[in-house]
Structure 1
Amino acid sequence: MSMSSSPPRAASRQDLTLAALTWVAAFGLMLRLDGVVELANLALLLVLAAAVAGWWLSVWASLLSSALAVLAFAWLFVPPRLSFAVEHHPHALLLFSMLSLCSISALLMGRSRRQTAQARLMGARAEQLRAFSDSLRDVHAPQSLAPLLHQALDALRPEPVQLLVLKNRLPPRNDPEAGLWLGPAADADQATGLWLCLREGRAFGPGTGRHQDLKAWYLPLRGRHASHGAALLHLPAGGQEKEAEQGLRAHAQSLCDQMGLALERQATEQTAQKARDEASGQATRNALLAAISHDYRTPLACIMGAASSLLEQDARLDARQRQRLAATILEETEALRRMTDNSLQLARLDAPGVSLKLDWESAEELVGTVLRRSRQRRAALSEAEPAAARLRARVEPDLPLLRCDAVLLSQLLDNLVDNALKYGAGSNIEILARRLPWPEPGPQQGQPRIVLSVRDRGPGVARAWQERIFDAFQRGAEAQSGRPDGSERRGAGVGLAACRAIAQAHGGEMRYRARAHGGASFECWLPLQASPPQAQEAVSP
């Protein structure tokens, strides 16, 4: 159904045929009942026919057909017959009453038809507004519905519609590149009018109270606080707004306002999301600074104390004391390096668009490198802090190559080994690499993955902390309680968070699993990729 407020359409051929058949049927019935019923009753049939025929005819056609029907009735049925003369005054009154009733019926039917057409038009416009509102509500980018708005406005007028929709913010000067243009190319005056309507947020044209001499409507896409576009609807020749077109302009403005509100809502959501991201980033930076200021203080104090002792009391220290102070400096420096590396990697991997240096690596070489490095560190510190824990590794034979960043995966395993040495209560620690099917339900269930895990037989992680242990700046109850000798367990709570970020950057997942007979298993599940033959040959002995 057309949304325009065009005048009522002329009667179609079908309408004329139905009206003619109505009159033929009425006069046929009156001829058949002639002499059987009284003249007044025959007149009622003519009035009924006029009311029925008026449904298909326009007002003027209905009035004309009713007048002709009354004349035909006077010719055929009113004495003297076959003449327009009237002998009795009651017959003249009857003819006058018939003509009056037929005229009133035609006017009422015409008015009813106009009201019905208007009701249908209002219903169609309301349905169009509802459907357009639903479309805007369900879409995340309202600009994508600009063609739909242009199509809806284009259906209101026979002339083409021009539409301007802002892409982002309103530029300080009129810039065609800042807007999305739909419809025929606007000339300089029309473009200037659209930008002016957009900036002022007010309608221009006949009936709007502004620039009444224009031959078009300029309608803004209004939000609550600003306009986000403008539409140009041309008026017919003469450029004057008719009374019937006032509702059309109001409907077009409602469509434009819905788009404007949707665009403003999108801009508000983007601003709010940006504010949330900035607040989250600021909170992360504040937490990182707080953790650094607290957890870096102790190792720095230890390093400074050991270095001061070596500098000031060198002559009074024996070789064993010097070695112990040097081992303290080495241990605290290593702790600082690890916390710094984890903090930097966590910040880098959480940033959008991070890229990894991927290559084909052997799981056996990765595990062996981490094992050798951990043993060397423990050996260097053995004089100051004997290591009761024993490190060992087990790698399943014939594992496929991993497409990974070797430096990051080595850091992941280093963090897990260091974590096990801190909280494993002196138990044996095992680095394990094997192939297992993915256990979680879903489309990937049962698909093989490589699992890199570090296991111990320590106290494990309390159930209340198992869901949060991989969050940044979170340390479990075991870490907060300190060592059995009363000394504090240092850490910023970023080691396991960095492990999870590294695993996710490789498309994998970090998981914690409590072992059946006590202890903890921290597992990195990595997806398998088909390695090229040359990569297999490069790592084969």
Structure 2
Amino acid sequence: MARYFKTLFELAPAGLIWGATWWLMFWLDGRVNLANMAMLLVLGAALASLWLPLARAILVSLGSVLLFNWCFVSPRGSLTVEGNQHLLLLAAMLALSCVTALLIASLRRQAALARRQAGQAERLRAFNDSLREARDWASLAPLLQAEMQTQLDASVQLMLLHQDQTLPQQNLPEAVQWQTDGGQAPSAEQSAGLWQCLRLAQAFGPGTGRFEEQPAWYLPIRGRGASLGAALLQPSRSQALDAGLLTHMQLLCTQMGLALERLATEHLAQLARDEAASQANRNALLAAISHDFRTPLACIMGAASSLLDQDARLSPAQRARLAATIIDETEALNNMTANSLQLARLDAPGVLLRLDWESAEEIVGAVLRRARQRHATLTSNADGPTASELQARLEPGLPLLRCDALLLTQLLGNLVDNAQKYAPRSCIEISARTALEGSARFIVLAVRDRGPGVGLAWRERIFEAFQRGAEQQHAAGPDATSRRGAGVGLAACRAIANAHGGRMRYRARRHGGASFECWLPSVTPPQAEEMSA
């Protein structure tokens, strides 16, 4: 019933046009000659053909000419025609009406084809956009299946090689991934056809020129290189005869193949970048070991040789200074080694941390104890300047940190060591507080001093590996030895912060000094009962 009313609604304009045409012809009967009235009928037929299908337009035109003969051509009330002139007029009316209907029908078909092609072009553009936004090999298959099912309204099954899989010599099920309707696997015959389509990179099925007796389309998913998969489509009988639809489906498969090639290329490029970065880290570590590690080793060897060869001629104070030198240089060498190895490990792709819920107070306390013990050991064995005063300031009620406690302890230890090197005899403060940035909440661990700070040009570069600042590179005098290093401490701090999803910042203090801050995202800890469970 709904279809019947839809047909009437579509044909209503043609009926109105014919009604108006006949009313006008009856009104003009006797006022104009027969030829002018015939032109009105031809005009009505042309306008009605804009809405009527071709067959109906020709039938209506034939009926209108016969009715025109009955009503207006003498003898009226009869289908007989007097004279060749009237017969020629009626034949011309019928011919013009049919030709007009044919031309309008052709224009309507061309307009419908143009609209269809424009719609396909728009859908293809949207499909290309969705493929371009995809970043995962497995996410592309559902996009192609959904697009094909939308346009074909039939079953679509896809077979794709895995991302790192080359075409095997035999048909191995584990070498491919499937995208099927409702999880229903294709039959053995269909699977064999898909593998054949994949290997030959050619389309099979009706209208393709190959194996046209097959009821389904087998379309290769190929790019500029080799074929990467195949699609099985089961169109209806009318769709199977539509060459334009087949071309469009193959174009979708080709776009899919290009997207797969792009992802494979990006994957290989990322592997190459990771390998290059890993190689650069290895080279930098070798350079640091061969250059910056020589000085503390030479100091240790010199002090140990003096203790061994000149023990009888050394005073107790001289022995203590040599022992302190060995301890100090060993500690420096240990720190450089730990930072270099940590930097190499954390900069590698896919690093995993030992995350647990930790207390910021315990981490800061461990750093304080280590720094004070080290200072006590050094000052008890050597005469030197009074070390920086070290204190802590923690915000009450700090939430737990989701972190690797050893890494954060190393981070704060590096910052304290740097502050003691470059801000001697100043107050050094370890602080922990919460901060808001936009809608995000952070826990900020900072080491602050009242030293000379860092020049504006070096405030970002100091966090890069093997960068120590212009002042430290040209340092000389009594402080040069104490400031020796490979320039990996702050780089390791940044790598540790980045591995925790945070970041390192340098902030110049208002009345002089520096503040090195580690901003870590605050994560809501689980409830007590969840932790106990």
Distance in 1, Cα, partners of 2:316 & 2:82 = 152
Corresponding letter in the other structure for 1:254: L
Secondary structure of the equivalent of 2:217?
Answer: strand
Cα distance, 1:77–1:461 mapped onto 2, change above 3 Å = closer
| Residue 319 of structure 1: how far off its partner (Å) | 4.7
* Contact 2:394–2:433 (Cα < 8 Å) also in 1: no
* Contact 1:147–1:182 (Cα < 8 Å) also in 2: no
Secondary structure of the equivalent of 2:427?
Answer: strand
Secondary structure of the equivalent of 1:192?
Answer: helix
TM-score (norm 2): 0.84
Equivalence for 2:456: 463
Corresponding letter in the other structure for 2:439: P
Pick from 40, 43, 49: which aligns with 1:45?
A: 40
Cα distance, 1:159–1:410 mapped onto 2, change above 3 Å = closer
Deviates more, 1:131-140 or 1:103-112: 131-140
* Contact 1:222–1:257 (Cα < 8 Å) also in 2: yes
| Residue 405 of structure 1: how far off its partner (Å) | 5.5
Residue by residue over 1:482-533, the C-alpha shift from the partner in whole angstroms, topping out at 9 and shown as x without a partner, is: 3325966531111222334445556665443444554444455667789999
* Structure 1 residue 338 corresponds to structure 2 residue 314: no
| Residue 161 of structure 1: how far off its partner (Å) | 2.8
Distance in 1, Cα, partners of 2:152 & 2:493 = 63
Cα distance, 1:456–1:106 mapped onto 2, change above 3 Å = closer
Corresponding letter in the other structure for 1:263: L
Residue by residue over 1:329-349, the C-alpha shift from the partner in whole angstroms, topping out at 9 and shown as x without a partner, is: 333222211211222333344
Equivalence for 1:214: 214
Equivalence for 1:287: 284
Cα distance, 1:83–1:523 mapped onto 2, change above 3 Å = closer
Secondary structure of the equivalent of 1:163?
Answer: strand
Equivalence for 2:414: 415
* Contact 1:310–1:322 (Cα < 8 Å) also in 2: yes
Cα distance, 1:175–1:380 mapped onto 2, change above 3 Å = farther
TM-score (norm 1): 0.83
Cα distance, 1:367–1:124 mapped onto 2, change above 3 Å = closer
* Structure 1 residue 88 corresponds to structure 2 residue 83: yes
* Contact 1:339–1:491 (Cα < 8 Å) also in 2: yes
* Contact 1:389–1:429 (Cα < 8 Å) also in 2: no
Residue by residue over 1:236-268, the C-alpha shift from the partner in whole angstroms, topping out at 9 and shown as x without a partner, is: 45x9964xx221111111122222222221222
Cα distance, 1:451–1:52 mapped onto 2, change above 3 Å = closer
Query: What is the percent sequence identity of the aligned residues?
Result: 53
Cα distance, 1:486–1:247 mapped onto 2, change above 3 Å = same
Distance in 1, Cα, partners of 2:357 & 2:10 = 78
Distance in 2, Cα, partners of 1:530 & 1:112 = 67
Corresponding letter in the other structure for 2:135: H
* Structure 1 residue 72 corresponds to structure 2 residue 89: no
Equivalence for 1:491: 485
Runs of 4+ in 1 over 6 A off after TM superposition: 526-534
Secondary structure of the equivalent of 2:232?
Answer: strand
Pick from 177, 180, 200: which aligns with 2:178?
A: 180
Equivalence for 1:54: 49
Distance in 1, Cα, partners of 2:59 & 2:164 = 62
Equivalence for 2:386: 389
Cα distance, 1:391–1:405 mapped onto 2, change above 3 Å = farther
Cα distance, 1:103–1:395 mapped onto 2, change above 3 Å = closer
Distance in 2, Cα, partners of 1:516 & 1:301 = 41
| Residue 303 of structure 1: how far off its partner (Å) | 2.5
Secondary structure of the equivalent of 1:86?
Answer: coil
* Contact 2:395–2:434 (Cα < 8 Å) also in 1: no
Cα distance, 1:20–1:508 mapped onto 2, change above 3 Å = closer
Pick from 431, 439, 442: which aligns with 1:443?
A: 439
Corresponding letter in the other structure for 2:410: Q
Secondary structure of the equivalent of 2:464?
Answer: coil
| Residue 19 of structure 1: how far off its partner (Å) | 3.9
Pick from 99, 103, 107: which aligns with 1:108?
A: 103
Pick from 407, 411, 432: which aligns with 2:429?
A: 432
Residue by residue over 1:189-233, the C-alpha shift from the partner in whole angstroms, topping out at 9 and shown as x without a partner, is: 111212222233222234434334433321122222233332223
| Residue 24 of structure 1: how far off its partner (Å) | 4.1
Unaligned runs of 5+ in 2: 1-5, 529-533
Residue by residue over 1:287-335, the C-alpha shift from the partner in whole angstroms, topping out at 9 and shown as x without a partner, is: 1111111111222223333333444455555555544443333332222
Deviates more, 1:349-358 or 1:220-229: 349-358
Corresponding letter in the other structure for 2:493: C
Cα distance, 1:121–1:492 mapped onto 2, change above 3 Å = same
| Residue 101 of structure 1: how far off its partner (Å) | 1.3
Distance in 2, Cα, partners of 1:291 & 1:375 = 26
Distance in 1, Cα, partners of 2:476 & 2:154 = 83
CA RMSD of the aligned region, Å? 3.4
Distance in 2, Cα, partners of 1:532 & 1:77 = 95
* Contact 1:370–1:413 (Cα < 8 Å) also in 2: no
* Contact 2:324–2:378 (Cα < 8 Å) also in 1: no
Higher helix share goes to which structure?
2
* Contact 1:51–1:102 (Cα < 8 Å) also in 2: yes
| Residue 141 of structure 1: how far off its partner (Å) | 3.4
Q: Which residues of 2 match residues 259-274 of structure 1 at below 5 A?
A: 259-274=256-271
Distance in 2, Cα, partners of 1:392 & 1:462 = 24
Distance in 2, Cα, partners of 1:14 & 1:525 = 68
* Contact 1:339–1:494 (Cα < 8 Å) also in 2: yes
Equivalence for 1:376: 376
Equivalence for 2:354: 355
* Contact 2:357–2:525 (Cα < 8 Å) also in 1: no
| Residue 480 of structure 1: how far off its partner (Å) | 0.9
* Contact 1:455–1:522 (Cα < 8 Å) also in 2: no
Secondary structure of the equivalent of 1:482?
Answer: coil
| Residue 273 of structure 1: how far off its partner (Å) | 1.6
* Contact 1:349–1:502 (Cα < 8 Å) also in 2: yes
Distance in 2, Cα, partners of 1:355 & 1:285 = 24
* Contact 1:363–1:399 (Cα < 8 Å) also in 2: no
